[in-house]
Structure 1
Amino acid sequence: MQNIIATLLEAQIEAFSKEFTDTSRNVFYDDTEKKLIHAGEFGMLREACVRELLTNFLPGIYGVSHGYVIGQNSEISHQCDLIIYHRNYTPYLHTPEGQRFFPVESVIAVGEIKSKVDGTVLDDALGKLTRIKLMRDAITDAAIARVRPHSDRKYDPVNNIRDQLVTFVICEEYSCSNAVLSERIKKSWSGSTPRHRVNLITAIKGGTCTYKDSNNKSWMYPVEPPASDEIPVRLVTPKPDSIGHLALFFRYLLLLVEDTTVLYPELTRHLRDLLSYEAEDLE
Structure 2
Amino acid sequence: MNSLSRLFASLHEDLERQLSITRESLRHPSAKGDESESIWLALLQNYLPTRYRAERAQVVDSEGRFSDQIDVVVFDRQYSPFIFQLGNQRFVPAESVYAVFEAKQSIGPREITYAKKKICSVRALFRTSLPIPHAGGEYEPKPLTPIIGGVLSLESNWNPPLGEPLRKALETNDPMSRIDIGCIASRGLFHSRDGAQTFEFHVGCKTAARFLLRLISELQRIGTVQMIDIMAYERWLVDDR
Q: TM-score range by the shorter chain?
A: 0.7 to 0.9
Distance 1:117 1:250 in 2: 19
| 1:143–1:264 CA contact under 8 A, matched in 2 | yes
* Alignment CA distance shift 1:203-1:222 (3 Å): same
Which one has the largest radius of gyration?
1
Distance 1:145 1:179 in 2: 45
Q: CA deviation at 1:3?
A: 4.0
Q: Which secondary structure does the structure 1 equivalent of 2:152 belong to?
A: strand
* 1:252 matched to 2:224: no
* 1:110 matched to 2:83: no
Q: Which secondary structure does the structure 1 equivalent of 2:118 belong to?
A: helix
* Alignment CA distance shift 1:67-1:210 (3 Å): same
- CA RMSD between the two structures: 2.4
| 2:59–2:93 CA contact under 8 A, matched in 1 | yes
* 1:203 matched to 2:174: no
Distance 2:32 2:229 in 1: 37
Q: Which secondary structure does the structure 2 equivalent of 1:114 belong to?
A: strand
* 1:165 matched to 2:147: yes
One-letter identity of the residue aligned with 1:233: F
The match for 1:156 among 125, 143, 153 is 143
* 1:61 matched to 2:51: yes
1:90-239 to 2 correspondences below 5 Å: 90=80, 91-95=82-86, 97-135=87-125, 138-139=126-127, 141-143=128-130, 152-157=139-144, 163-177=145-159, 178-188=163-173, 192-193=174-175, 197-211=178-192, 219=193, 221-223=194-196, 231-238=197-204
Q: Which residue of 2 aligns with 1:266?
A: 229
Distance 1:145 1:128 in 2: 31
Structure 2: which 5+ runs fail to align? none
| 1:64–1:82 CA contact under 8 A, matched in 2 | yes
* 1:8 matched to 2:7: yes
Distance 1:237 1:69 in 2: 33
One-letter identity of the residue aligned with 2:221: D
The structure where strand makes up a greater share of residues is 2
| 2:68–2:121 CA contact under 8 A, matched in 1 | no
| 1:66–1:81 CA contact under 8 A, matched in 2 | yes
Q: Which residue of 2 aligns with 1:70?
A: 60
Q: Which secondary structure does the structure 2 equivalent of 1:78 belong to?
A: coil
Distance 2:236 2:68 in 1: 23
One-letter identity of the residue aligned with 1:171: S
* 1:80 matched to 2:70: yes
Distance 2:208 2:149 in 1: 16
Identity among equivalent positions (%) equals 19
Per-residue CA deviation, residues 177-212 of structure 1 (Å, 9 max, x unaligned), is 533311221123xxx33x75121012112221123x
Q: Which secondary structure does the structure 1 equivalent of 2:124 belong to?
A: helix
One-letter identity of the residue aligned with 1:76: F
* Alignment CA distance shift 1:145-1:206 (3 Å): farther
Distance 1:268 1:198 in 2: 32
Q: CA deviation at 1:46?
A: 0.8
Structure 1: which 5+ runs fail to align? 29-36, 158-162, 212-218, 224-230, 277-283
How many residues align? The count is 230
| 2:116–2:178 CA contact under 8 A, matched in 1 | yes
Higher relative contact order (CA 8 A, sep 6+): 2
Q: Which secondary structure does the structure 2 equivalent of 1:170 belong to?
A: strand
Query: Could you state the TM-score of these two structures normalised by the residue count of structure 2?
Result: 0.85
Deviates more, 1:248-257 or 1:173-182: 173-182
Query: Could you state the TM-score of these two structures normalised by the residue count of structure 1?
Result: 0.73
| 2:132–2:140 CA contact under 8 A, matched in 1 | no
Q: CA deviation at 1:74?
A: 1.7
